[in-house]
Structure 1
Amino acid sequence: MLNKKIGILALAVVLTTSVLVGCSKKNNDDSGNEIKGNITSVGSSALLPLAESAGKEFSKIHPDVIVNVQGGGSGQGLSQIIAGTVEVGNSDIFIEEKNITNNEIKDNKVAVVGVGPVINKNIKIDNITGQQLKDIFTGKIKNWKEVGGPDLNIVLINRAEGSGTRSTFEKFGLGGVKSAKAQEQDNSGSVQKIVAQTPGAISYLSFSYFNDTIKALKIDGVEPNAESVGKNDWKIWSYEHMYTRKDANRATIEFIEFVRSDEVQKNVVAELGYIPINVMKVERNAQGEITELK
């Protein structure tokens, strides 16, 4: 009788242990710890700081996933995701703006980026009008004294053609007018350094590249900050898109979900100078039309 009771007890222990192990394995799978693979994320240099930071944090949670982040501009991001050579194509512009229709591509809006004019910090002005901004970048105004600054020639610095930052700036800052011919830089980091080092320089950068080595200008008295973008008082902004294939692998899908999560939006996105999607009071479509959010 005693042996029978011991046998029953042993069987119960085995069954209980099996259930616990099974639950543990299921929970481990659900937590995503089994994700493996490489994610290559290419494109917008305005989105580069967020993509790099989010990639590092994601790899800490999922050590078997390597997130390789590269710049190259929004055009590069779109062309490579369409070609299927990368897992994520980063862009400051809607794919429709390039007159591309591709039903295999999914648009994931991960943040909003504000873009603003920046000047060498030794130029003693803080504010210009929208018309003055247009006249400077189209070459009508050539000296800073014409807008209340020093007697110093204006040095224009552009992003390269295909840059989403340039597209956003020309579309919403210059009213759709093309900037005058000037030296061009392939990435925002280079623009930041050149403006800081060049007397008389002016260019444009996303807010995430603003720092104390350069000066960001107000336009018509409006500060370039998250609050003014959120209300559309500051007009020069765009969405940051992480385009993926609709048949993306599990690691890529979970990476995008991670970037869009409340934790990343509230912390990483905001800390890096972007505007979280959920703080916007308006939304904008590919045609530039604004709708107020309720």
Structure 2
Amino acid sequence: MKKYKLLSLLVVLVLQLSVNSAWSGALDPFAGQKGTLKIAGGTAHIPVIKEAAKLIMTANPDIRITIAGGGSGVGIKQVGESIIDIGNSGRKPTEQEIGTYNLHPVKWGIDGVGVVVNPDNPVTALSTQQLQGIFAGTITSWKELGGKDRSINIYDRDAASGTRSVFWKKGLKKSEVSKKANVVVSNGAMKTAIANDPYGIGFVSVGHIDASVAPVSLDGVAPTLDNVKSGKYPVARGLYSCTKGEPSGLAALLFDFLHSPEGRKIVEEKGFISVE
């Protein structure tokens, strides 16, 4: 038993040393800090925040960071009501939200929102007009778009989603969405739904697109990171993290880390565009 305990301690020490050597400069401000940081809201943010939190907590075990989803609306409301310390949002808070809650939004990334279908679906290019018809429920069969003679299953996000907000505004041009659409709660849930439905269509953060779903070009432009960076792909939004009042303590240190060269590298490795 003692042998296994010693081995576990050695693994932890090696892990801490490797983290400290690779990230020492960026993580130095967290040395000697203690406390808990509660974060919730937009789900697109989670891969970046989770990776940053892991590095911070490994370097300093006296810091605890908890991360939850819920959507942008939940993040804004909960941080405004002091339930959490940081509320993630895939859209900039409105002037009313900022005034009501005394919010301070910090932008650290830019993300695109791409239309996705099942990898077995041959329809991988649509016009804005076709996309509007699908989500409005006026185009009901994949056959009308060059696919199989099967009904189109629409997947949507709930009203609190920042991903949905930018998709509805910039992808659908604020057109109608059918009440028959299936509603899912996160980018991860959307990917799972589309991956398991050969006739489904939905939308996810470009940073979440992988082999489990097939990206759909919109008006001849693919939802890729390069196209988002160049501005060719217009369905894009900022990634914000909000505090109630000016950020301080661990929240301020986390924001500084996300804007450091090391933090920006994490943002880009997770499929987003970093912001200075």
Amino acid at match of 1:114: G
Contact residue 74 and residue 163 of structure 1 kept, 8 A: yes
Matched with 2:92 is 94
User: Which amino acid is the alignment partner of residue 113 of structure 1?
Assistant: D
CA apart distance, 1:184? 0.5
- 1:145 aligned residue: 143
Amino acid at match of 2:160: G
TM-fit CA distance, 1:61 = 2.9
Q: 1:115 touches 1:168 (CA, 8 Å); kept in 2?
A: yes
- Amino acid in structure 1 at the alignment position of 2:92: F
Q: Contact conserved, 1:58 with 1:258, CA < 8 A, in 2? A: no
**Match of residue 242 from structure 1:** 241
Confirm or deny that 1:274 pairs with 2:272: yes
Within a 5 Å distance, the mapping from 1:151-166 to structure 2 comes to 151-166=149-164
* 1:185-216 alpha-carbon deviations (Å, 9 max, x no partner): 11111111111111210000001221111101
What amino acid is aligned across from residue 133 of structure 1 in structure 2? L
The answer as to 2:74 corresponding to 1:80 is no
Residue matched to 1:34:
32
Which SS does the other structure have where 1:118 is aligned?
Answer: strand
After TM superposition, the structure 1 stretch with the greater mean CA deviation from structure 2, 131-140 or 245-254, is: 245-254
8 Å Cα contact 2:81-2:101 kept in structure 1: no
CA offsets, 1:35-77, max 9 Å, x none? 1110011000111111211111222233211110000110100
Q: CA 1:177–1:99 in 2, change beyond 3 Å: closer, same or farther?
A: farther
Distance 1:69 1:103 in 2: 21
Matches within 5 A, 1:169-248: 169-181=167-179, 182-248=181-247
Q: Deviations over 1:172-194 (max 9, x none)?
A: 10001242111101111111111
Number of corresponding residues? 250
> Deviation at 1:155?
0.3
Per the alignment, in what secondary structure is the counterpart of residue 194 of structure 2? helix
* 2-structure distance, mates of 1:238, 1:135: 23
Q: Distance in 2 between matches of 1:78 and 1:178?
A: 25
TM-score between the two structures when normalised by the length of structure 1: 0.80
Residue 87 of structure 1 contacts residue 248 of structure 1 at CA under 8 Å; is this kept in 2? no
Does structure 1 retain, via aligned residues, the 8 Å contact 2:98–2:104? no
After the TM superposition, which residues 25-64 of structure 1 pair with which residues of structure 2 at under 5 Å, given as runs?
31-64=29-62
Q: Which moved more, 1:144-153 or 1:83-92?
A: 144-153
Distance change >3 Å, CA 121–CA 97, structure 1 → 2: farther
Secondary structure in structure 1 of the residue aligned to 2:114: strand
TM-score of the superposed pair, with normalisation by structure 2: 0.85
Measured after TM superposition, the shift of residue 97 of structure 1 is 6.7
Structure 1: give runs of 5+ residues left out of the alignment: 1-29, 279-294
Structure 1 residues 126-145: aligned runs within 5 Å: 126-145=124-143
Amino acid at match of 1:177: S
Residue pair 1:90, 1:243 contacting (<8 A) in 2 also: yes
Structure 1 position 135, deviation (Å): 1.1
Distance 1:245 1:60 in 2: 27
Q: Which residue of 2 aligns with 1:291?
A: none
Distance 1:188 1:201 in 2: 15
Q: Name the CA distance, whole Å, in 2 between partners of 1:204 and 1:97.
A: 27
For residue 230 of structure 1, report the CA deviation from its aligned partner.
1.7
Root mean square deviation of aligned Cα: 1.9
**How many angstroms does 1:130 deviate by?**
1.4
For the 8 Å contact 1:269–1:275, the answer to whether it is kept is: yes
Secondary structure of 1:153's aligned partner: coil
Residue 160 of structure 1 aligns with an amino acid whose one-letter code is: D
* 1:262 positional shift: 1.8
CA separation in 2, counterparts of 1:98 and 1:112?
23
What secondary structure, in the 3-state scheme, does the structure 1 residue paired with 2:273 have? Answer: coil
* Identity, % of aligned positions: 29
2:166 aligned partner: 168
